[in-house]
Structure 1
Amino acid sequence: MPIVNVDTFLGAKLDYLVIGGGTSGLVVAARLSEDPNVAVGVLEAGNDHADVPEITIPGMMARVIHNPEFDWTFYSELQKYANDRKVLQSRGKGIGGSSAINFLASVRPAKEELDVLERLGNPGWNWESLLKYMKKSEHLQIPNITPDQAVAYAVVPDPNLHGTNGPIAKSFPPHVTEMHSAVLDSLEKNGVPRNAENSGGNPVGGLLFPTSVDSSTATRSHSGSAYFAPNAQRPNFLVLTGAHAAKIILASGKAGLLRATGVEFIKDGKSYVANASKEIILSAGTFQSPQLLELSGIGDKDILNVHGIEPRIDLPGVGENLQDHSLAPAIIEVDKKVESLEVLFSPEGLAKHQELYKQQKGILAGIPSSLFAFFPAKAFAGTEDIQRWKSLSSISGSPPEIFEKTKPSVKRGIEKQYELLRGWVDDPAHPMALLLSLNGHFPIPGLTIDHSKRYMTSLLAYTHPFARGTVHIKSTSPLDAPAIQQNYLSNPVDLEVLTKILQFMDKVYATEPTKSLFVKRILPPKGVETDEALKEYVKSTLATVHHPVGTCAMLPREDGGVVDSNLLVYGTENLRVIDCSVIPLEISSNVQTLAYAVGEKGADIVKAVR
């Protein structure tokens, strides 16, 4: 049924209660509610943003970032290795969660990255399994371009690799500038090939990347619009917005396990308890799922005791193993014939693209970007660099302070991850860096943009963070933000990868045909070319790519795991975590496709035990 009031919600006899109406949470709720004999409730702290143009119009992406109505606007703790800065950690707030405010990229990880989930102790979690669920979540819309354009743009999708009937639309950016093919050509001359179909588990190369945009309407496709809205009339699908979960109610269960019976939540300043007879499903995301577990007495007993919370289950992995992609921007001024975002700042340019939008064309009809490229280490780094990175792939590669309070079981699991990373560093088929392009000038605090000029931004990121961070409660109040300690750049590999890829892009800009469109470099500023100067630049401009994972890791309990391969929280019989916090090792791509797959697979796991 449509979004309900609190009395209706509390009056329902729920079988399943999902905490979080975000990317994965709505997938689970929608799939479980396909059975008319069960009642599914969703608690969402934010509101419904179904008709907000800044969300629905793809070309207006990022307009709601920093806005607390749509974005939790979390900030990290001080980042010692990034010039003591606090770094924004945006998370979607409202129906659809982060899928409603993300940058729309629908790019898949490498096959090996998903196969290692099984190697790390999770039977049934591998490429073949998750490919099935990625396809189930989507329907592909083939781009309307010529064969020559398909080659030039690097987009030849294989229909066998994509879904045809799933809820989420997958299409390709309709606005492609001269810079797109020029950079792809220049990348090829520097050893990075085109990859016209990177969705098959082999991501290395440059491409026109798929996005979660419905090209038939030129609107964002997200879990709210695709999983909730079409099913909102189901009488057994109840959603309560403005409901901030505070605590999971736990009782004694069978065989010494605890049973989750309900959730305490706050709405309009009042506290309530909603109950469910079968399962409680936690889908609050990488930052708030561990926070809610700790508030409920599940976590490292030493951390819980500090806050006066009775430890119900001693689970040291809760909130540990945080990983994220981060980036440094490279911005160049380009030839004025390139139609970048800056054209929208003139009345004539804006009017033109508003008219084009009515035809599902132009800058506003798709993401204001088109080019991704995945780089193996050998493309941008030397043999000595690569060997050094392999040697730093261990806990000992970070300063002692990073892991001094980490429990032995968690360390054991992280060392197993580092062992895998060592094998990826020098693998020519595995990416170590990523280029995400923006057709325009990325906003930088303190830097004025001349909108009469044209720009291209290369957001350059590492794909596999060597740093590990934590997320833990700051207090016993569920309304307080958690302490997010990313430890960005604490392992030198992350800083060195960003430095080397910045240098590599200078070579690309100096290579034809990009060279003919290049006017001048804006960032890094002139004179910042040496390793040391670039390292300082990275520290001062570092930003997240908003792909946090790992804080409720799906690993064996002896390796610091929080959930098992059925997504059950250890020590409980019916409490599951179903979101990207369960992914134990960061993937090389955006996490959106995996978030949907985790939700789809998680729903099937729940259905199997009815």
Structure 2
Amino acid sequence: MVTFAAAGVSAIHITAPLNQTYDYIIVGGGTSGLTVANRLTENGKRKSKPPISNYYPHMPTNLTDTVLVIEYGNLVNDPSILVPANTLSFAPTPERYFNFTPVPNPGLNNDTTSPLAAAIVGGSSAVNGMFFDRGSEADYDAWEALGNKGWGFKDLLPYFKKSVTFTPPNEEVAERYNYTWDVDAAYGGHGEIQVLFPPYQFPGQNRLWDAWREIGVEKPKEAAAGDAIGSIMAPSALDPVLRTRSYARTAHYEPYAKRENYHLLTGYQATEVLFKEGGELEAEGVNMVKVGGADKSVVRARKEVIVAAGAIWTPWLLQRSGVGPKSVLEGAGIVVKKHLPGVGANFQDHPFGGSVWNWTTNPYFPTAGALATNQTFYAEAEKEYIQSRAGPLTTSRGNQAAFLSLKTVDPEGWQALVDAVAAQDPTSYLPAQYDKTLMAGAKAIHNITAEYLARDDAAAFEFTFAEGPIGNAAIMRPLSRGTVNINPTDPASGPLVDWRTFSNPLDIKFAVQMVRFSRRFNTLSSFAGLGAVEVSPGTNVTSDAAIERYLRSTMDPTFVHMAGTASMLPEELGGVVGTDLKVYGVGKLSVVDASIVPYLPATHLCTTVYAIAEKAADAIKVRTGWDD
């Protein structure tokens, strides 16, 4: 294991906020929270209006707007977070995640797989696989089609660009691994998140690229420019000099931690949004407790409370504060401040799983697995990484994936599946707590899904691949919807996460096609001589019913792409926030994380969350009088 020291600074460790009042309080120090905090504290010219001394008499009067970030987790200085190759292990490090058990999932034989919700400064950007891709143009245009004007691909592209700095590889590396890019179309910004293609890939991958070409799947020159369909090579969130993980902490906190107006409070949990008494409903602060403790502290926000707690904890906080479905709140004995049925609804993720394959004759060495099994190889790789920041340890969990249309995966039966989706009334498969607005929103999303499943520019599946045969995939357009609610018997405990995977019976039909496609793909002539063998479910499992039984016992409900639980939709479609990301009917309260995503894009979510945060920060500045 690499043992070089991790860069970092200490948070402001205090038992109560430095101030009783801040201009902005951000709940959550993860991907979106730290991005927004950086943007709201980056102006060094403007004085607060009215004078800051009226609110914080012990502080200098030349400060800009003040921001407090409240984060449940800690600043974890484990250097393994920074080493790209350490993401190749899927075994979670418990101290980096929340620990709770979801509602048993009937669609997966009552599975209780826990969502890997990060409990660490930097959030999911600190623990993900560093796969830095974007969805297709169609993915984000769907958001606009659902009533979110200004949130289509052309509107988000400037924020995708703003959030990152892309460093092209040198000519030798680009030629060796067939890296292609288009800076003008996809990048060109100077954001804090560093993005580049790693200088190393494991051998054997050419067989996979040959196979994609054999089956007619093309590699776009630049998937990040809105053409994320086909077999893609994505860059990593990787520092171009240190070759370490670039994430929200290293990009949006550490370089700015000495700003006097930027306070990060770790080891505390916001438990309730506080509202002013009398008049219109308006947020004025939060209650919080030290993790493991019970004593409450109150901190107030002069301008806005910004929730960035993620798709699992954001609905929990809103519901505990009295904002959410009336039936859920009353069942937990919480006074209803604002009836918003969409809080905790429209819960989405990409179910992940499929078949397992091996090559019995593998002429390629090393493989990624050798890092875990061959001590000599690891020692050599570690030495190369420490000395020159090159070699196998610069490679993260993945850079390659095939985003495929339904037509590609099921060329003979795709139309029948599309027709089945188009003909289906989804309402009988939705959660019982759904009211007429949520039903209307679900139908609108369902109709878009039927349309997108028939298109060539919108992926229905993601097949991850590297230097071995393919097997696992993720369903990009699941019809099933879950919920995230407070526990009615103990609202202070962790949320009740109900995945409801395969609750819509058509989803399992799509999963079956993933297994059938892998059988066709792994026996292509491109793999001749490698002895591809299906380990599971096995060639004796042939009927749809038998494959379904296998998938229900092996699939994961999550690709760690949790989203949707405070959706950006019109209120009449069950929305929680509008296009300005302000919570409907509540003043000075907004949401800026993945919970606002109304319809999951066919991509990993990290880059999308950065773009959401950048766009949110601009909106907050405009409405709260933040000046350049």
Q: Deviations over 1:333-371 (max 9, x none)?
A: 330424212222222111111122122222211214332
- SS of the equivalent of 2:579 reads coil
Give the equivalent residue in structure 2 for 1:33.
41
Amino acid at match of 2:210: D
Matches within 5 A, 1:5-84: 5-7=13-15, 9-11=17-19, 13-35=21-43, 36-49=63-76, 51-61=77-87, 66-84=92-110
Question: C-alpha displacement at 1:65, in angstroms?
Answer: 5.2
State the Cα deviation string for residues 56-93 of structure 1 (Å, max 9, x = none).
11110165854332111444321111112112310111
Residue number among 493, 509, 523 corresponding to 2:522 in the alignment: 509
Cross-structure match for 1:320? 345
Task: Go from structure 1 to structure 2 and tell me whether the alpha carbon gap of 1:142 and 1:259 turns closer, same or farther (over 3 Å shift).
Answer: same
Aligned to 2:286: 263
The corresponding residue for 2:237 is 212
Q: How many residues align?
A: 590
Structure 2: distance between partners of 1:337 and 1:147: 19
* Counterpart code for 2:281: L
Distance 1:62 1:101, change over 3 A: farther
1:148-170 Cα offsets, whole Å, 9 max, x none, are 836x6453344431144111111
CA distance 1:505–1:456, change in 2 (3 Å)? closer
Q: Distance in 2 between matches of 1:332 and 1:408?
A: 45
Could you tell me which residue of structure 2 aligns to residue 94 of structure 1? Answer: 120
CA–CA distance in structure 1, aligned partners of residues 614 and 134 of structure 2: 16
What does 1:119-138 correspond to in 2, within 5 Å?
119-138=145-164
Match of residue 431 from structure 1: 459
In 2, the alpha carbon distance for the partners of 1:30 and 1:299 equals 29
C-alpha distance 167-45 of structure 1, shift in aligned 2 (>3 A): same
Classify 1:513/1:218 alpha carbon distance in 2 versus 1 (closer, same or farther; 3 Å): same
2:565 maps to 1:539: no
Structure 1 residue 476: Cα displacement: 6.8
| Residue matched to 1:118 | 144
Structure 1 gaps of 5+ residues are 440-454
Residue in 2 that maps onto 1:452: none
Q: 1:15 is matched by which residue type in structure 2?
A: D
Q: Matched residues in 2 for 1:369 and 1:594: separation?
A: 18
Letter aligned with residue 17 of structure 2: F
Contact map agreement 2:487 2:496 (CA 8 A) in 1: yes
Matched, 1:306 2:331: yes
Alpha-carbon distance, 1:495 to partner: 1.6
- How far off its partner does 1:212 sit? 0.9
Q: Does 1:422 align with 2:450?
A: yes
Tell me the amino acid that sits aligned with residue 460 of structure 1.
A
Which whole-Å CA distance do the structure 2 matches of 1:19 and 1:338 have between them? 46
CA distance, structure 1, for counterparts of residue 186 and residue 408 of structure 2: 27
Which residue of structure 1 lines up, in the alignment, with residue 533 of structure 2?
520
Counting only pairs closer than 5 Å after superposition, residues 546-561 of structure 1 correspond to structure 2 as: 546-561=560-575
Residue pair 1:290, 1:551 contacting (<8 A) in 2 also: yes
Give CA-to-partner distance per residue, 1:577-596, whole Å, 9 cap, x none.
11010011110001111100
Structure-1 residue corresponding to 2:606: 592
Question: What is the CA-CA distance between 1:478 and the residue it aligns to?
Answer: 6.0
Which residue, 588, 598, 604 being the options, matches 2:618? 604
Q: Distance in 1 between matches of 2:173 and 2:525?
A: 23
- The answer to whether structure 1 residue 500 and structure 2 residue 513 are counterparts is yes
Give the direction of change, closer, same or farther, for the CA distance of 1:26–1:394 in structure 2 (3 Å limit): farther
Equivalent-residue separation in structure 1 for 2:276 and 2:89 (angstroms): 44
TM-score by length of 1: 0.92
Paired residue secondary structure (1:32): helix
Distance 1:12 1:110 in 2: 44
| More off after superposition, 283-292 vs 67-76 | 67-76
Check the 8 A contact 2:214/2:526 in 1, yes or no: no
CA contact (8 A) 1:243 1:266 kept: yes
Residue 412 of structure 1 aligns to which amino acid in structure 2? A
Deviations 1:202-233 (A, max 9, x none): 21111221111223212111101111111111
Partner of 1:331: 356
Q: Would the aligned equivalents of 1:65 and 1:71 in 2 still touch at CA under 8 Å? A: no
Please give the secondary structure, in 2, of the residue aligned with 1:367.
coil
CA offset digits 1:277-335 (Å, max 9, x no partner): 11000000001100100000001111111111000001111100011101114433330
The change in CA–CA distance for 1:201 and 1:260 in structure 2 (over 3 A counts) is same
Is the contact made by 1:390 and 1:425 (CA closer than 8 Å) also made in structure 2?
Answer: no
Letter in 2 for 1:594: T
| Shift in CA distance, 24/221, structure 1 to aligned 2, threshold 3 Å | same
Report the secondary structure of 1:6's partner residue: coil
SS at 2:108 equivalent: coil
User: What displacement does 1:20 show?
Assistant: 0.2
Do structure 1's residue 180 and structure 2's residue 208 form an aligned pair?
no
- List alignment gaps of at least 5 residues for structure 2: 1-8, 44-62
Partner Cα separation in structure 2 for residue 404 and residue 94 of structure 1: 34
Alignment partner of 1:411 is 2:439:
yes
Contact 2:139 2:458 in 1 (8 A): no
1:123-522 residue pairs with structure 2 within 5 A? 123-146=149-172, 149=175, 153=178, 155-252=180-277, 257-267=280-290, 268-269=292-293, 270-334=295-359, 335-344=362-371, 345-358=373-386, 359-393=388-422, 396-397=425-426, 400=428, 402-438=430-466, 458-475=471-488, 479-522=492-535
Q: Using the TM superposition, give the Cα deviation of residue 473 of structure 1 relative to its aligned residue in structure 2, in angstroms.
A: 0.6
Alpha carbons of structure 1 residues 125 and 462: separation in structure 2 relative to 1, 3 Å: same
The 1:429–1:18 alpha-carbon spacing in structure 2 relative to 1, beyond 3 Å, is same
Counting aligned pairs with the same residue, the percent is: 29
Range with bigger deviation, 243-252 or 173-182 = 173-182
Q: Which amino acid aligns with 1:42?
A: V
The 1:46/1:468 distance shift into structure 2, 3 A limit, reads same
Q: CA offset at residue 47 of structure 1?
A: 0.1
Amino acid at match of 1:553: S
The residue type equivalent to 1:350 in the other structure is: Y
Q: Partner letter of residue 512 of structure 2?
A: T
User: AA paired with 1:218?
Assistant: R
The letter of the residue matching 2:252 is Y
Alpha-carbon distance in 1 for matches of 2:10, 2:424: 49
Contact map agreement 1:298 1:313 (CA 8 A) in 2: yes
Query: Are residues 336 and 384 of structure 1, via their aligned partners in 2, closer, same or farther at CA, if it must alter by over 3 Å?
Result: closer
State the alpha-carbon separation in 1 of the partners of residues 255 and 174 from structure 2. 38
Q: Aligned-pair distance for 1:384?
A: 3.7
Instruction: Report the Cα offset of residue 7 of structure 1.
Output: 4.8
Instruction: Give the C-alpha shift of residue 477 in structure 1.
Output: 5.0
| Conserved? CA contact 1:20–1:284, under 8 Å | yes
